[in-house]
C-alpha cells in the first residue's frame, strides 16, 4: 500500500479529474431506486455533503496551512503540523475531498459514480495516507507516534474545536489564495451536474431558462475573475 501510495501521490493532481471524467462518460443518471420522490432528497444530501467537504477544507486552510505538497513529486513535509483542524483529524483535507466525491455521486445518482468514483477515491487517499504516515513516522519518530495516538486518522473529532484553534486567527486571505479555484470549480460543477442529471432523466423540459443560465454564468465568472484579479495584483496575499 505504501508503494502504491507513492505512485498515487506522484500523479495525484491528474488522478481525481481522470477518475471523475471516466465515470462521467460511463454515467446515465436516473431517479434513486427508480423513485422520483427520492430525487430531491438525494440532490439535497449530495449538495450538503459536497459543501461540507469544501467547508472542512476552507476551515482547515484558514487556521493552519500544511506544507506537504511534496518535493520532486514525492512525499515531503517541513514540519509536523498539529494545530487547528489538524488537532482534530490527521487528514482533514483528504477527508473533505472524500465527502465532496460522495456528495457529487449522490447528486448525479449514476451507478458508474458509485462503483468507480467512491471506491477509487477511497483507495487513492488510503494509499497516499499510508505513504505519508510511513514518511512522517520515519522523520518525526516519537513525536508522530504521540500525535497519531491522540488524533483520528480520518473522522474529525467533534469536540475540542475551540480549544484546537484557541489563540489562532482565521486567515481568510490564505483561503482566497489557496482555495478560490477549488471553491469556484466545485460550485460551478454542482450546478452543471444538477442540470445535466435532470436533463438526462426528464429531457429538455427540465432545463432552466436561457436567461437564468446566462445570468448564473455571468455572476460566477465575474466573481471568479474578481478574486483571481485580487490574487494576481498582490492585494490579497497569503
- 227: pLDDT confidence band, cut at 50, 70 and 90? confident
Average pLDDT over residues 5-23: 88
**Residue 163 included in any domain:** yes
β partners of residue 147: none
- Residue range of the domain that includes 109: 2-169
- Counting residues of the chain whose pLDDT is more than 70, the rounded percentage is 95
Residues across the chain = 238
The pLDDT score that the predictor gives to residue 12 is: 84
The pLDDT score that the predictor gives to residue 237 is: 64
**Residue 175 included in any domain:** no
**Residue 198 included in any domain:** no
**Residue 207 included in any domain:** no
In angstroms, rounded to a whole number, what is the distance separating the alpha carbons of residues 60 and 24? 29
Number of folded domains that form the chain: 1
Q: Which phi and psi angles does 70 have, rounded to 5°?
A: 95, 160
pLDDT tens digits, one per residue of 99-115: 999 999 999 988 888 99
**Residue 229 included in any domain:** no
CATH of the domain at 83: 1.20.120
pLDDT tens digits, one per residue of 43-72: 999 999 999 999 999 999 999 877 655 666
**Residue 143 included in any domain:** yes
Cα torsion 193, 125, 90, 99 to 10°: value is 20
Amino acid at each position: 500500500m505504501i508503494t502504491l501510495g507513492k505512485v498515487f501521490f506522484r500523479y495525484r493532481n491528474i488522478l481525481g479529474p481522470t477518475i471523475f471524467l471516466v465515470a462521467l462518460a460511463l454515467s446515465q443518471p436516473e431517479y434513486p431506486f427508480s423513485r422520483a420522490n427520492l430525487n430531491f432528497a438525494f440532490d439535497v444530501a449530495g449538495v450538503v455533503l459536497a459543501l461540507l467537504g469544501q467547508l472542512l477544507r476552507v476551515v482547515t486552510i484558514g487556521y493552519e496551512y500544511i506544507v506537504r505538497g511534496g518535493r520532486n513529486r514525492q512525499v515531503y513535509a517541513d514540519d509536523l503540523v498539529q494545530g487547528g483542524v489538524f488537532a482534530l483529524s490527521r487528514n482533514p483535507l483528504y477527508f473533505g475531498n472524500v465527502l465532496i466525491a460522495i456528495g457529487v455521486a449522490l447528486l448525479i445518482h449514476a451507478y458508474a459514480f458509485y462503483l468507480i468514483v467512491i471506491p477509487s477515491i477511497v483507495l487513492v487517499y488510503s494509499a497516499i495516507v499510508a505513504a505519508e504516515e510511513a514518511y512522517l513516522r520515519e522523520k518525526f519518530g516519537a513525536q508522530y507516534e504521540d500525535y497519531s495516538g491522540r488524533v483520528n486518522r480520518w473522522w474529525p473529532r467533534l469536540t475540542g474545536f475551540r480549544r484546537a484553534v484557541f489563540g489562532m486567527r482565521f486567515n481568510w486571505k490564505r483561503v482566497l489564495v489557496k482555495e478560490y479555484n477549488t471553491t469556484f470549480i466545485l460550485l460551478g460543477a454542482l450546478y452543471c451536474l444538477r442540470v445535466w442529471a435532470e436533463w438526462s432523466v426528464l429531457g429538455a423540459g427540465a432545463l432552466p431558462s436561457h436567461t437564468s443560465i446566462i445570468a448564473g454564468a455571468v455572476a460566477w465568472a465575474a466573481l471568479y475573475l474578481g478574486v483571481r484579479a485580487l490574487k494576481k495584483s498582490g492585494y490579497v496575499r497569503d
